[in-house]
């Protein structure tokens, strides 16, 4: 007797795991999916100020919290000024917009993960010198390195986005789809050149640095799982998979330093020769980056080479 397909469908509960076309996946029925969308919408979808707000807590602080990196804008029609019955001026915000610049946050993440990588490297070398098992230490270095380098690359992506938002349309670099032979770092370099007023030499140096940072980032976010020849670990007399050799503490330190250095170099160049629209962003980068500059130099030495300073 052939099974009734409708019975199978009725037996499948929300969130049950089934084999679908050879792949395991979570199959959720419509009520579960609707509930999930409702919960997500309250957290991740933009909210307008005139929408119904949740019930406030007791003794709420009130107002709008503007944290570091957040800018406020009142769109057209967002501010209403009127007179009440007694002739007093009444000001009401109908709508506001907020914008968060995460560039410095990504540098903080990079620095935190670099510190983890440094600690893992110390433990690795100690275990190797004592002829102990080093596998776990190698993977701690690898994981911290990958995260630090991805964070360093994302700093440039966040800076790219922030610069575009500050600039007039004639200085925003277009990124047409389907243009062959143009890498992502090429677009980012061109936009930062326009934003911060880099000359030819500075643009060439930035493109070279971004080429290396994005090469390492791509090895992380677009990983391959193919076989290949091993490489010598830079600190151990061991052959390892090539990405284990790539994502070492020494390479991570170089790339994080480069990202942090450009948080200082670019705004200093902009204050001398950049467009006026970028001055506020330049000031923010120098102010928010200063604690990181000091932390680097206290632990690792000079942030900038003499030629770059």
Distance CA 266, CA 221 (A): 26
Strands (E), 3-149: 16-20, 23-27, 70-73, 79-83, 89-93, 97-100
Residue-level pLDDT at 88: 83
Cα separation of 256 and 6, whole Å? 57
Ranges of the chain whose pLDDT falls below 70: 1-62, 65-79, 93-94, 96-100, 175-182, 306-309
pLDDT for res 16 = 38
pLDDT at 70: 62
Give residue 178's pLDDT: 54
Phi/psi at 102 (nearest 5 deg)?
-100, 10
* Residue 209, token pair as written in the block: 């640095």
pLDDT of residue 239: 96
First to last CA, the chain: 82
How confident is the model at residue 41, as a pLDDT? 53
Q: What is the pLDDT of residue 22?
A: 37
Cα-only R_g, the chain = 26
Is the four-CA dihedral 182, 183, 184, 185 of positive or negative sign?
negative
Per-residue model confidence (pLDDT) at position 61: 60
pLDDT reported for residue 90:
75
Residue 123 DSSP one-character state: H
Q: Whole-angstrom Cα distance, residue 184 to residue 191?
A: 11
- In the numeric block, which tokens belong to residue 144? 């911290």
Q: Which among 164, 152, 111 has a CA at the least distance from the CA of 281?
A: 164
70 forms beta bridges with 100
What is the spatial distance between Cα 28 and Cα 69, in angstroms, rounded to a whole number? 39
Q: 3-state class of 290 per DSSP?
A: helix
Nearest to 256 by CA among 158, 123, 146: 146
Which residues, other chains included, contact 245 with Cβ-Cβ below 8 Å and sequence gap of 6+?
A: 231, 232, 233, 234
Spacing of C-alpha 304 from chain mean position? 23
d(CA 104, CA 289): 6
Q: Which residue has tokens 């199978």?
A: 8
pLDDT of residue 201: 94
**DSSP assignment of 133-154:** --HHHHHHHHHHHHHHHHHHHH
Task: Give which of 285, 117, 150 is closest to 220, Cα–Cα.
Answer: 150
């Amino acid at each position: 007797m052939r099974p009734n397909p409708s019975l199978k469908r009725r037996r499948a509960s929300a969130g049950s795991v089934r084999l679908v076309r050879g792949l395991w996946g979570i199959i959720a029925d419509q009520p579960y999916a609707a509930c999930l969308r409702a919960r997500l919408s309250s957290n991740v979808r933009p909210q307008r100020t005139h929408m119904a707000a949740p019930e406030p807590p007791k003794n709420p602080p009130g107002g709008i919290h503007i944290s570091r990196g957040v800018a406020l804008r009142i769109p057209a029609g967002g501010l209403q000024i009127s007179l009440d019955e007694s002739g007093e001026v009444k000001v009401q915000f109908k709508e506001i917009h907020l914008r968060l610049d995460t560039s410095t946050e990504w540098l903080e993440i990079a620095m935190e993960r670099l510190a983890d990588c440094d600690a893992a490297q110390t433990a690795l070398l100690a275990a190797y010198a004592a002829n102990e098992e080093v596998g776990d230490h190698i993977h701690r270095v690898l994981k911290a390195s990958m995260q630090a380098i991805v964070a360093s690359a994302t700093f440039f992506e966040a800076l790219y986005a922030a610069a575009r938002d500050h600039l007039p349309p004639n200085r925003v670099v277009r990124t047409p789809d389907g243009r062959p032979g143009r890498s992502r770092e090429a677009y980012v370099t061109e936009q930062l050149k326009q934003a911060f007023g880099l000359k030819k030499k500075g643009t060439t140096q930035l493109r070279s640095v971004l080429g290396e940072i994005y090469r390492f980032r791509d090895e992380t976010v677009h990983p391959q799982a193919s076989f290949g020849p091993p490489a010598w670990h830079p600190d151990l007399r061991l052959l390892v998979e090539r990405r284990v050799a790539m994502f070492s503490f020494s390479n991570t330190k170089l790339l994080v330093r480069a990202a942090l250095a450009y948080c200082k170099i670019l705004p200093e160049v902009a204050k001398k020769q950049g467009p006026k629209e970028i001055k506020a962003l330049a000031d923010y980068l120098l102010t928010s980056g200063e604690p990181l500059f000091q932390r680097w130099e206290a632990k690792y030495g000079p942030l900038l080479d003499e030629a770059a300073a």
